[in-house]
Structure 1
Amino acid sequence: MLFTPRFEAFHPPHAPGRLFRALALAGLTLLGGCSLVPGYQTPALPLAPQWSAKDPSATSADAAGGAWWREFHSTELDGLIACGLNDNYTLKAAVSRVDQARAIAQVAGAGQYPNLSLGGNYQRQNNYGTTKKSSVFAQATYEVDFWGKQRATADASQALANASQFDAQTLRMTLGASIADTYFQVLSLQERVRLAQSIAADASQVLDLVQVQASQGAVSNLEVEQQRNAQQTFQAAVPLLQQQLDAALYQLAILVGAPPEGFKVQQAGLDALQVPQPKVGLPVGLVRQRPDIQAAEARLISANFDVGVARAAFLPNLSLDLLGGIDTLAGGHIWSIVGSLAQPVFSGGQLTGQLHADQAHVQELTASYRESIIEALRDVETQLSAARQLDQAYTLNQSAVDSAREAARLAQVRYRLGSTDFQTLLVVERTQYQAEDSLLQVRLQHLQAAVGLFRAIGGDFGAPTLAATPSSPSQVPQS
């Protein structure tokens, strides 16, 4: 059904003012109409009172946000992360997407307000006489949001803008962790290259000794070739590790927004770094800390508003057009009101299908929201377990390295004195290299587990960030 009353008349000058005030009053009255948006409640999910992988003797202090990377006590790492958060191009693109989402939300919210335009025309004819005609008018168009459709559309778009903000914060959180992980990998590979070079140099000295003994008939050429093979094996590890080091260094440059050519780090080795022990708080706090969980809920809220929009589409739609101005030819004011009332009657199932699709979308995002929570819980549990187990592994590997170094020293002394065979010397050489290389890798994993735990509990969620202050729904648009 379509009902279009139309009123056009000349009126005394004081009538348009009363008319505008009457329409404004009617609009404010209708704005207080009903909303068809379903009531929203955050989906419930049972949360354990404590972490399974946490040390029972540890306290349950709340997790602390902020610049977590400073806990490693590396000024170079602090500078790299600061550069990355400021210059990384992927993060800049994410910030631009936030601006786009906010602009789209502003466009969507414009439907809640009247559309006002000014115009005029001037006409002059001089065929058999002079005729001048001019008019100035203002036109306002307004769709009365009695069922809350426009408000729900604006709120749905604003919720998506908030989700975009949380997405950018998730990227920020991941970027900081990636910079720290890659930086530690660079330092570890530097040490592994130096270790391989040192072990290869030691093996070269032993090879010289074995060659002297072979020239004196004390050993055979078999021992010479075996030691040569060990020395070449250690040397062959150097270019492979160097290639991994170069790749990690170039990746670190990209993460901090710098060209890879000439990019270097100043710190040498991992020994100067401290391994922090983050406070993880309780599982219930994770929902408020992780931006990916907040983004999932923001999308769920948006979908809930979409259901209200789909419901309102079944009901009548009322729009008002107001025109008022001055006509110089008539010598007075002119005004008109056009009201349009439209009620959908038959759409071939389009409106019903849209409603069902939006309701199904809410169910989908509800499941996704719950999935994001249990994935975050798993992430924290995994990192807690890794931090605890790698702490023990590092202590054990350090003891193994100490034993391997002492065994290698004793084997070389005894071999020079002729009290041990060459096979024993060869075994302890390789054992020492493997033990020291394993220790460096465990040290790296230990540091990265701490980074992973900081990331898992939400990163620097306590500091002012892109997603800390999302815009409120349905703001008044700016021209």
Structure 2
Amino acid sequence: MNAPLKPAVILLSLALGACSLDPAYTRPDAPIPASYAVAGDGETAIRPDSWQAYFTDPELQRLIQAALDHNRDLRIAALRVEEARAQYGIQRADRLPAVDATAAYERSRALYTPDQTINTDLYRVGLGISGFELDFFGRVKSLSSAALESYLATQEAQQSARASLIAEVAIAYVNVRALAERIRLAGETEASRTQGYQRTQRRQQTGLDNALDLKAAELQLESAKASLAALRREQAQAVNALQLLTGQPGQPILDQDIALDRMAFAPLPAGLPSALLENRPDIRAAEHRLKAANANIGAARAAFFPRIQLTTNIGLADGHLSGLFSGGHAKVWAFSPQLTLPIFNHGRNRANLDLASVRREIGVAEYERAIQTAFTEVSDVLASREQIEAQITAQMRITDSEKERLNLTNRRFDKGIANYLEVLDAQRSLFDAEQQLVQLKQLSLSNSTTLFKVLGGEWQPQS
């Protein structure tokens, strides 16, 4: 090895093995209880390893897959990952020297005597390293680590967006199916009230019913028509919202007659709160951001120490272009390390270190908040699940009672014991009870979907 190049090689070796001034990272303790206040059912159930194993309805699976393929918000999240990956690649490249090929031509005129000047031509070609920082104190390494953690945080954010999108599509689909069921009930009610109105007309013409009974029957019929129109408007809007989530506006949704009772999802155990740290991508993203802030402290600390930049070049030179390649050239080299030691910069380095330290504390608080938010969301879902099921059981009994009440009232009306206003009141109460029962079943399915989301979505995320 040429003696002049040995110092550069030695310095380069030291730079690649630089020390680090990053603070030792320790994961903060999770500021949550060790268990949920309300234990979930099916604690021994096996966790599904994909969303397909949890959402088993074929049409819902088709819609979720369409959303994963075409949803623009998810596409933006994926592009953010690519952006962060590119930024990390740029930062990582700074840890290694960039070797450039150079070619130069120089023509100069020098004064040889008071009356004589000399023109000189010089051609040069070579390879060189320009401005490479020898990372003795780990500044560049810390910046590279921070960029890596930011990239990983962006990846986790994409997984979080994916889980949210899957849940949103499922909830929107349940809403469409619930509205279809409510429209069916409203249609049956309208048909029943049309028959009742026609019967009241005939009875009024024969003198069995009065004008007040006919007007009440007409009001009930128009109320049923208004409710049906409102539900159809809601259904059209719900379908549009679902199509937007799938990224395919205008694409039809399969009009399946699926009762909500047959849309139960697979059992999903809640597990322990500590599992949220590994399952929730938003918590993992917060921890990666915390690690990035930790690495930035190391970079800020390293700024207090000298920075050494290396510029070196080796090549060929000759006064004639043809001489560079015919053996008449001269070998030339240059080695110019530069040392920069901060002395007085008006407290800039101290302020940067303080800033990095504060941002790390912010990162700790955001990480802890993410954990507490996750714990609260799961607790809310578990607490609601039991009460929703109790509501459904009670509402089913109410609906059955309202059906029996209507049957009894109709029999009393046929025997002339009850008036038609009692029949109309019983019909109205049954319609309201049936609508509330469908809404509670919808709420139960939405609650199960939300549980999938707040527990972290997929446990083996697909690429």
Are the structure 2 counterparts of residues 60 and 202 from structure 1 closer, same or farther at C-alpha, using a change threshold of 3 Å? Answer: closer
Equivalences, count: 445
Which residue does 1:109 correspond to in 2? 92
Q: Is the 8 A contact 1:188 1:441 kept in 2?
A: yes
- What is the Cα deviation at residue 25 of structure 1? 3.0
- What is the Cα deviation at residue 32 of structure 1? 2.8
Q: Work out whether 1:162 is the aligned partner of 2:152.
A: yes
Q: Is the 8 A contact 2:32 2:371 kept in 1?
A: no
Counterpart secondary structure, 1:346: coil
Which residue does 2:240 correspond to in 1? 250
Alignment equivalent of 2:63, drawn from 69, 76, 80: 80
Which residue does 2:113 correspond to in 1? none
Counterpart secondary structure, 2:262: coil
Task: Report the residue type matching 1:406 in the other structure.
Answer: E
Which residue does 1:50 correspond to in 2? 35
1:349-407: per-residue Cα shift (whole Å, max 9, x none)? Answer: 22111111111111111111101101100111111122222122222222222222222
Alignment equivalent of 1:358, drawn from 353, 356, 378: 356
In the superposition, the TM-score normalised over structure 1's length comes to 0.88
Counterpart secondary structure, 2:91: helix
- What is the Cα deviation at residue 409 of structure 1? 2.5
Are the structure 2 counterparts of residues 131 and 357 from structure 1 closer, same or farther at C-alpha, using a change threshold of 3 Å? Answer: closer
Task: Report the residue type matching 1:138 in the other structure.
Answer: L
Q: Is the 8 A contact 2:42 2:268 kept in 1?
A: no
- What is the Cα deviation at residue 177 of structure 1? 0.1
Are the structure 2 counterparts of residues 193 and 59 from structure 1 closer, same or farther at C-alpha, using a change threshold of 3 Å? Answer: closer
Which residue does 1:370 correspond to in 2? 368
Counterpart secondary structure, 2:312: strand
Which residue does 1:266 correspond to in 2? 255
Counterpart secondary structure, 1:112: coil
Counterpart secondary structure, 1:321: strand
- What is the Cα deviation at residue 26 of structure 1? 2.7
Q: Is the 8 A contact 1:69 1:180 kept in 2?
A: no
Partners of 2:98 and 2:44 in 1: CA distance = 54
- What is the Cα deviation at residue 316 of structure 1? 0.7
Which residue does 1:178 correspond to in 2? 168
1:211-266: per-residue Cα shift (whole Å, max 9, x none)? Answer: 2222222222111111111111111011111111111101111111112x252223
Higher mean alpha-carbon deviation, 299-308 vs 116-125, is at: 116-125
Counterpart secondary structure, 2:126: strand
Q: Is the 8 A contact 1:60 1:282 kept in 2?
A: no
Counterpart secondary structure, 2:36: coil
Partners of 2:257 and 2:6 in 1: CA distance = 75
- What is the Cα deviation at residue 459 of structure 1? 0.5
Q: Is the 8 A contact 2:16 2:95 kept in 1?
A: no
Partners of 1:163 and 1:274 in 2: CA distance = 34
Alignment equivalent of 1:32, drawn from 17, 21, 27: 17
- What is the Cα deviation at residue 274 of structure 1? 1.9
Unaligned regions of 5+ residues in structure 1, if any?
A: 1-13, 466-479
Partners of 2:301 and 2:251 in 1: CA distance = 60
Counterpart secondary structure, 1:271: helix
Counterpart secondary structure, 1:396: helix
Alignment equivalent of 2:460, drawn from 459, 462, 467: 462
Alignment equivalent of 2:432, drawn from 426, 431, 434: 434
- What is the Cα deviation at residue 433 of structure 1? 0.1
Are the structure 2 counterparts of residues 346 and 131 from structure 1 closer, same or farther at C-alpha, using a change threshold of 3 Å? Answer: closer
Taking only aligned residues, the RMSD between alpha carbons, in angstroms, comes to 2.2
In the superposition, the TM-score normalised over structure 2's length comes to 0.91
Report matched runs for 1:127-276 at 5 Å. 133-141=122-130, 142-259=132-249, 261-269=250-258, 270-276=260-266
Q: Is the 8 A contact 2:55 2:61 kept in 1?
A: no
Task: Report the residue type matching 1:310 in the other structure.
Answer: A
Are the structure 2 counterparts of residues 62 and 368 from structure 1 closer, same or farther at C-alpha, using a change threshold of 3 Å? Answer: farther
